[in-house]
Amino acid sequence: MNRVELAATLIEIPPLRHTPAGLPVLQLQMAHESQVLEAGLPRQISMEFKAVALGDVALTLAKAPAGSQVRIIGFLAPQRQGSDRLVLHIQQLVQAH
């Protein structure tokens, strides 16, 4: 199973684009901070990552200001075929603050 759910901050929101088929697409820079338990010990997580949203999710996120907190559900995929870099593909916006 390839499913990611997390709370994140929108860092960079470039202008909305469209695929050749006319589907809205938005490439984002996001950040996440949390504390998790690993092997019974607390671990601080702080990271920035790239994400992409398509369709209605892209339209909604394009209206959000940088700095907005969101909760998202999606999956990880290579940035392009054969790449080692991963991108979070946002399928669902659970909530925005």
What is the pTM assigned to this prediction? 0.89
Give the chain's domains with CATH numbers. Answer: 4-96 (2.40.50.140)
Is the pLDDT at 95 greater than 80, yes or no?
no
- CA 72 → CA 20, 21, 53, 82, 86, distances in Å? 26, 25, 10, 26, 16
Q: Rounded to an integer, what distance in angstroms lies between the CA atom of residue 91 and that of residue 32?
A: 17
pLDDT bucket at 97, cuts 50 / 70 / 90 = low
> CA 63, 68, 74 angle in degrees (round to 5)?
80
Condensed to tens digits (0 to 9), the pLDDT of residues 39-75 reads: 999 999 999 999 999 999 999 999 999 999 999 999 9
Task: Provide the pLDDT for residue 35.
Answer: 96
| Pairing relationship of beta strands 86-96 and 41-54 according to DSSP bridges | parallel
Condensed to tens digits (0 to 9), the pLDDT of residues 2-24 reads: 999 999 999 999 999 999 999 99
Fill in the amino acid letter for 76.
L
